[in-house]
Structure 1
Amino acid sequence: MRILVDLLGYNGGRGGTETYVRELLPRLAGVMPDVEFVALTGRSGAAAVARFFPGRVDTIRWVGADRATWALGEILAVGRRARHARADLVWSPANFGPLSRGAVPRVVSIHDVIYHEVPGTGIARLPRSITASLMDRAAKTADRVLTVSDAAAAAISHHLGLAADRITVVHNGTAPSRRIADPEPALRSLGLDTERPLLLSAGNRMPHKNFAGLLAAIATIEPGLRPRTVVVGGGEHDPLDETVAALGLESDVVLPGWVSDEQLGALYAAATVYACPSLTEGFGLPVVDALGAGCLVVANDVPVLREVGGEHAFYADARSPQQFGREISRVLELEAGEREERRTAGRAWAERFTWDASALGVADVLRAAAGARHPRG
């Protein structure tokens, strides 16, 4: 059996969907030893894909890092390359795929429908609507749709009009948390001390992440009781800089950009609270990661974060700075014994989400999709 894996959009900088393929593909090779995997990628991702992919990597040189050539590649190249490679199945794991039903069966992983739920405003609305249309078409023409949470499956069914029996949920996994015995050297490299409770949050600066809402919540806490807040991500010119200044939080908030794995591990080890103010997510991996690292988690009260955090996270409406700020303050004031009980239970909960289990679930879907269109005797 041969599976063509559509990695045209892979460039090493697209966050969660790329973590998904990096974690799953080596494991899929282990649980599907009879399958030959062939990657199809563009020039900007070829070297990165070759480092983890368990098979041959074919490159389309005219597909770059931009979404325009990526979309053209999906339309013009994937189906033709699949036929040329004599593939039994095409798997598109990163939301996008060919827009028409081809001769080769196809599975697409749709991680979320954020472009529908948070369409953006002004000039940003048009490109987001185009992206949503491409995702919709890729999902509607696929033989099977994979997604990563029950909440995401319900949203896909609602916004795209797909029948529930065409969608299969396979939860993401999480990597075991790195134990950092002494976080202080890495914290010092970020200009941090441990004199104040530390609140951590992390992610890109897309609108649905709602970091401005988190900062507004921090501003509602009495100055002498505010945690030292670190929001990882955002790059060199962080758009949150202006929000920090407008709220007068310069002495309370650190925006370090993207950090090293060692620094992130130290931040998890030192943090009292991890805050996830996202308005919507496909899975909510940061919540699971933070619980696994032993952090107390305050998350926006939406179904997907309750699904992945269970009863082990704390929830409040992150659209209300007052409510979210009160919940952060309440968690910071917990007695030491209750904190430790919550941390222990949270770690055990997070261990339920493994990439090995994800790989087994995805393998079942890939085999079923290949066999449904071309049954083998």
Structure 2
Amino acid sequence: MRIGINTLFLVPGDVGGTEVYLRETLKAMAALRSSGETLVLFTNRENDRLLRADLAAFPQIEFHPIPCRAAARPLRILAEQFLLPFAARTARTDVLWSPGYTAPAVCFSPQAVTVCDLQYKSHPEDMRWMERLALDALVRTACRRCQAVLTISEFSRQEVIRHGFAAADKVHATLLGVSHDFAGKQQREPEETEQILRRLHVRRPFLLCVAHSYPHKNVDKLVAAFALLQGELPHQLVLVGKGRRGEAALNKSLLQIRQPEQALRLSGLTEQELRTLYQSADLFVLPSTYEGFGLPVLEALSAGLTALTVRAASLPEVGGEAAFYVQAPEPELLAAKIKEALRLSAAERRQRTEQGKAWAGAFTWERTAAQTLRILRNIAEER
């Protein structure tokens, strides 16, 4: 069987958790595929070299570059709709999987598409209205044309069904995994960890948040909560993520912090730097009210870090009983729960750490890949 994979949406370093989902699932799929199965990747100009490096150790991988740049979104959509179907036909694919929300309206083989979330439906403020209309039309078309729709949580599955994108029997939840690299301390000298923290200008103790500044992420409210705690905590607040449409509110909240050096913003980190932050922080906080999965919470738990998030969307699925929750991301509620989490005794913290690691350990990319492969094989065989 020849399994086509549409990676045209991927701009390395720009699409956040969707990039992690694609790259980790591909590596696990390459390791799990049966003999006689070939993964056929349709890449773009930005990601071809990266994906070749990711999968260099695996045989039976074919690469078919398509001359487009994903950063130029209208041109990428045109390439996906008009060039990709013929490239897939030429490559003799038996099934085509598109992991990035959209898929060709016409294809010569069965198709599956992954819809990670419907954030633009619940939080329209995150996008311009023209972008919302175009995305809605493309996603609805993909869900209608494809034989299977994959989501990354049960919450997202219910969202796809509730908004009428696809019938329930066509939608499958394939939960994400977490890299084993986050679990436990790496085989690294303490001095190396300290060098990384010094290079990033991070000082202990610190609180960590990993989120782009979209309005629904509520990073501004976390900063406001941190401002309320000034004088009570010795901590620095480290914010990892790129600027998005919530920048104005975030910058306004940052003005409330009397000592600006107490809040540090970082972006463009290496995987090693991000792991070091997870493994060195005192508390992880994600005040988002909408996540298709909420991978940073799982990464934090896997690293042995206490995690605080909001009881909303998919986050209770991801955090389970191992995370702390607030009912709403209001600064006063966040501040109170931050103090509660930091006041855990050493024994309580150890118990939370063990509980979180055990919970996160059940989420594997091997499981994600196995479920995805089973769905792709099924729709190809039904054809």
Name whichever of 155-164 and 360-369 sits farther off.
155-164
- Could you tell me how far apart the structure 1 residues matched to 2:109 and 2:168 are? 23
Asked whether the equivalents of residues 205 and 211 of structure 1 are also in contact (C-alpha less than 8 Å), the reply is yes
- Could you tell me how far apart the structure 2 residues matched to 1:208 and 1:132 are? 19
Question: Deviation string for 1:304-328 (max 9, x for gaps)?
Answer: 1100110000100343111122111
Please name the residue that 1:111 is paired with.
116
- Runs (4+) off by over 4 Å: none
SS at match of 2:12: coil
Q: Residue 169 of structure 2 is aligned with which of 135, 146, 165?
A: 165
Please name the residue that 2:196 is paired with.
186
- Could you tell me how far apart the structure 2 residues matched to 1:117 and 1:289 are? 25
Equivalences for residues 62-73 of structure 1 within 5 A: 62-73=68-79
Equivalences for residues 165-314 of structure 1 within 5 A: 165-176=169-180, 177=182, 179-180=185-186, 182=190, 183-194=193-204, 197-225=205-233, 227-234=235-242, 239=247, 242-248=251-257, 250-314=260-324
Please name the residue that 1:337 is paired with.
347
- Could you tell me how far apart the structure 2 residues matched to 1:224 and 1:63 are? 49
Equivalences for residues 320-331 of structure 1 within 5 A: 320-331=330-341
Please name the residue that 2:99 is paired with.
93
Opposite residue 153 of structure 1, the aligned amino acid is R
Question: 1:72–1:242: structure 2 CA closer, same or farther, 3 Å change rule?
Answer: same
Equivalences for residues 71-86 of structure 1 within 5 A: 71-86=77-92
Name whichever of 284-293 and 10-19 sits farther off.
10-19
Q: How many residues are matched? A: 368
- Could you tell me how far apart the structure 1 residues matched to 2:225 and 2:179 are? 30
- Could you tell me how far apart the structure 2 residues matched to 1:62 and 1:339 are? 49
SS at match of 2:63: strand
Opposite residue 113 of structure 1, the aligned amino acid is L
Cα deviation for residue 217 of structure 1 reads 2.0
Q: Residue 125 of structure 1 is aligned with which of 121, 124, 129?
A: 129
SS at match of 1:280: coil
- Could you tell me how far apart the structure 2 residues matched to 1:319 and 1:219 are? 15
Opposite residue 217 of structure 1, the aligned amino acid is A
Cα deviation for residue 339 of structure 1 reads 1.1
- Could you tell me how far apart the structure 1 residues matched to 2:209 and 2:358 are? 21
Opposite residue 51 of structure 1, the aligned amino acid is A
Cα deviation for residue 361 of structure 1 reads 1.0
Question: Deviation string for 1:269-322 (max 9, x for gaps)?
Answer: 221110011121111111111001011110011141100110000100343111
Question: Deviation string for 1:169-215 (max 9, x for gaps)?
Answer: 11111011161452322212222332xx3210113233332211211
- Could you tell me how far apart the structure 2 residues matched to 1:267 and 1:243 are? 25
- Could you tell me how far apart the structure 1 residues matched to 2:146 and 2:331 are? 41
Structure 2: tracts of 5 or more residues without a match:
none
- Could you tell me how far apart the structure 1 residues matched to 2:7 and 2:194 are? 39
Question: 1:263–1:161: structure 2 CA closer, same or farther, 3 Å change rule?
Answer: closer
- Could you tell me how far apart the structure 2 residues matched to 1:130 and 1:346 are? 40
What TM-score results when the alignment is normalised by the length of structure 1? 0.91
Opposite residue 253 of structure 1, the aligned amino acid is A
Name whichever of 89-98 and 178-187 sits farther off.
178-187
Name whichever of 145-154 and 253-262 sits farther off.
253-262
Question: Deviation string for 1:88-121 (max 9, x for gaps)?
Answer: 1011011111134x33100111111111111116
SS at match of 2:128: helix
Asked whether the equivalents of residues 200 and 229 of structure 1 are also in contact (C-alpha less than 8 Å), the reply is yes
Asked whether the equivalents of residues 29 and 35 of structure 1 are also in contact (C-alpha less than 8 Å), the reply is no
Question: Deviation string for 1:231-288 (max 9, x for gaps)?
Answer: 112279x947723542225142111223233322222222111001112111111111
Question: 1:229–1:364: structure 2 CA closer, same or farther, 3 Å change rule?
Answer: same
Asked whether the equivalents of residues 24 and 365 of structure 2 are also in contact (C-alpha less than 8 Å), the reply is yes
Structure 1: tracts of 5 or more residues without a match:
none
- Could you tell me how far apart the structure 1 residues matched to 2:270 and 2:27 are? 23
Asked whether the equivalents of residues 302 and 361 of structure 2 are also in contact (C-alpha less than 8 Å), the reply is yes
Please name the residue that 2:9 is paired with.
9
Name whichever of 14-23 and 219-228 sits farther off.
219-228
- Could you tell me how far apart the structure 2 residues matched to 1:222 and 1:27 are? 45
- Could you tell me how far apart the structure 2 residues matched to 1:50 and 1:226 are? 45
Say whether residues 1:367 and 2:369 are aligned partners: no
SS at match of 2:285: strand
What is the root-mean-square deviation in Å for CA atoms of aligned residues?
2.2
Name whichever of 343-352 and 25-34 sits farther off.
25-34
Provide the identity percentage.
31
